[in-house]
Amino acid sequence: MEIYQVIALPDPVLRATAQPVQTVNDAIRAQMKKMLDTMYAYEGVGLAANQVAILNRIIVIDTARRESDVKKPIAMANPEIIWRSEERWDYKEGCLSIPQMYADVERPKFIKVRYVDENNQVQEMDAGGLAATCIQHEVDHLDGILFIDHLSRLRRETILKKYEKMRREEGHVL
Ligand code: NI
């Protein structure tokens, strides 16, 4: 099984804007599959194309695995959140591109997302709770937005300091 390497902060590709997919063809389907394989290998519940240095608007998620061993992979091209509930909630988020850092992020609790599926068909999906948070987190990635951007400046700087210290200790050049 071939997987991508997940890119970590501070790589600038994480701040880039991904471009719309024209057609979900074999090449895009192959990217979706490899992204799912990568997400499972890294034990994530979601992954966006920017995180594997591809600037196509593609995300993959599988939040079902938090509750069971059954895989329910979903791949979305051009995901667009077309409705957000006024009700909000907090969830402790992490990100494969900011390893080992977690923080409570407040977001709308329910959303509706429109996307193009692996068969190039337009779909709409209602999501709530963890799935809603996950989809919002991944769609943010396509616009170069990270979960830490939703925190207060003080909390963001605290996390970034901790992250940079950890990465330096691990021998990464920042
Ligand atoms: Ni992320």
Per-residue confidence in pLDDT tens, the chain, 174 aa: 899 999 999 999 999 999 999 999 999 999 999 999 999 999 999 999 999 999 999 999 999 876 777 889 999 999 999 999 999 999 999 999 999 999 999 999 999 999 999 999 999 999 999 999 999 999 999 999 999 999 999 999 999 999 999 999 998 877
**Residues ≥6 apart with Cβ < 8 Å to 51:** 6, 7, 14, 96, 97, 141
Q: Which of 34, 17, 12, 19 is nearest to 118 (CA)?
A: 34
- Work out whether strand 74-84 and strand 110-116 pair parallel, antiparallel, or are unpaired: antiparallel
CA of 51 to the centre of ligand 1 (A): 8
Structure tokens at 68: 């069971």
Whole-angstrom CA distances from 155 to 105, 140, 173 are 11, 19, 23
pLDDT score of 70: 82
Give me ligand 1 centre to Cα 13, in Å. 13
**Alpha carbon distance 140, 69 (integer Å):** 27
pLDDT at 35: 98
CA of 123 to the centre of ligand 1 (A): 23
Would you state the pLDDT for residue 64?
84
d(CA 129, CA 88): 9
Q: Tell me, what's the pLDDT at 69?
A: 76
Catalytic site positions: 138
pLDDT at 1: 84
Could you tell me the pTM of the whole model?
0.96
CATH topology classification for 12-169: Peptide Deformylase (3.90.45)
**DSSP assigned state of 34:** H
> What is the 86 CA–ligand 1 centroid distance (Å)?
23
Q: Collapse the DSSP code of 98 into the 3-class scheme (helix H, G, I; strand E, B; otherwise coil) and give the result.
A: coil
Measure 124 CA to ligand 1 centroid, in angstroms.
Answer: 22
